[in-house]
Amino acid sequence: MSWAGPFQYDIGKSREPRLPPGELAFDRQRPTLLVLSHLRWSFVYQRPQHLMSRFAREFNVLFFEEPIPSEDGQPRLEVRSEENGVQVLIPRLPEECQGEAARALQRAMLDDYLARLQVDSPMLWFYTPMALDIAGHLPASLIVYDCMDELSAFRGAPPELVEREQALLQRADLVFTGGYSLWEAKKALHDNVHAFPSSVDIDHFARARARQDEPQDMQPIPKPRLGFYGVIDERLDIELLDQVAQLRPDWHIVLVGPVVKIDPAALPQRANLHYPGARTYEELPAYLSSWDVAIMPFALNESTRFISPTKTPEYLAGGCPVVSTPIRDVVRTYGDTEVVHIAATPAEFVTAAEQALAAAADRDRFLTAADSVLGDMSWDHTWSLMMEKMKWAM
């Protein structure tokens, strides 16, 4: 079976006034930035959302996500407006539409929508090399590859991802990496690679430093509390967490976030381990404020070899001392500070958490040290530097 345009457009709920298809906020005098993402805008608020909500100050930003099934079996493009007018585009495909047929349908949907907007040569921004199959045919005024993770090392990565990345690196005008370890891995593969470790919205997380109403699900949990927020997947060392909980049954460990790519039943279950589930970006400062120590219990494996966790500066901006396993970019950036403690084993993690609790007791000193580490770090600064690189590359 084949499908052809013109396609249906579904204008979904948004923070902006709802408008007819093709009439969402769009200024034809501005350049258009088309973002191809494997991460969904509404999943976890992280690097893509921080950057694209800022790029939307200068560009029309179209954020094209991976497809999801269509409830009625008819192909259509769901469109909604998000922060600063970012248009999120979600292809809805019939379940039986798979493989090359699905890719061809997405290409056709994208071509049709760009034609409606009268966009001829957008800037292309890739978060996943696999999207070359969807947008690689488009004429582009600039091609950016924002390599925020080594996706080929993640569980379930398609086997052809490495080949697609090689093709994207050959075509890209500009490559950004989500950390210095990734920059070291990619710098020999392209002549215009720049490291941009994830930054922080200091004002947002600094709310955690002021007195907050504790979230209701935190109130019954005794202190001290060691907290984590983020995606709970193969990157977490759940065995380490289980052993730390066993070593210190008087401590309570809280893991806030969705469980992805691992069986929830595989998570350790103890009276002092708590899994509240996913929370919104707006809710995170209140959770952070209710914890005594923030933790990053990442496993040391292929999927974490190149990560540069956004959580580190967010925790510090919130006024919470950090204990992390020895992730390379965490050690090189924060390992010699007194606000981030590094631990590799369960026993070391307990000792480091004790040190973090002691550091937090002298709050004024801790906050001064945390602010010194954060310096001028901000998403606005990262965005402005990226803008400069893009202008030079055009």
pLDDT for res 379: 96
Reported confidence tier of residue 6, pLDDT bands at 50, 70, 90 = low
Task: Indicate the SS3 state at residue 17.
Answer: coil
Read off the DSSP letter of residue 304. G
Largest CA distance in the chain: 68
Q: What is the pLDDT of residue 306?
A: 87
Q: How far is CA 105 from CA 83, 101, 102, 127, 326, in A?
A: 27, 6, 5, 20, 44
DSSP string, 333-371: HHTTSSSEEE--SHHHHHHHHHHHHHHHHSHHHHHHHHH
CA angle (292, 296, 297) in 5-degree steps: 115
- Domains and their CATH numbers in the chain: 8-199+379-393 (3.40.50.2000), 202-374 (3.40.50.2000)
pTM of the model: 0.88
**Residues with Cβ < 8 Å from 272, sequence gap 6 or more?**
245, 248, 249, 250, 251, 252, 253
Position 394 confidence tier, pLDDT thresholds 50, 70, 90:
confident
Q: Please report which confidence band the pLDDT of residue 198 belongs to, taking 50, 70 and 90 as the band edges.
A: confident
Residue 157's pLDDT band, with cuts at 50, 70 and 90, is low
Give dist(CA 46, CA 258) in Å, integer: 14
| pLDDT above 50 for 385 | yes
% of the chain beyond a pLDDT of 70: 92
Model confidence at 242, in pLDDT bands (50, 70, 90)?
very high
| pLDDT category of residue 204 using cuts at 50, 70 and 90 | very high
What's the rounded Cα separation, in Å, for the pair 232 and 48?
Answer: 19
For the stretch 71-104, pLDDT in tens is 888 899 999 999 999 999 999 999 889 889 999 9
- pLDDT-derived band at 146 (thresholds 50, 70, 90) equals very high
Q: Are 9 and 115 in contact (CB under 8 A)?
A: no
Least confident range of 160-164, 239-243, 261-265, 360-364 = 160-164
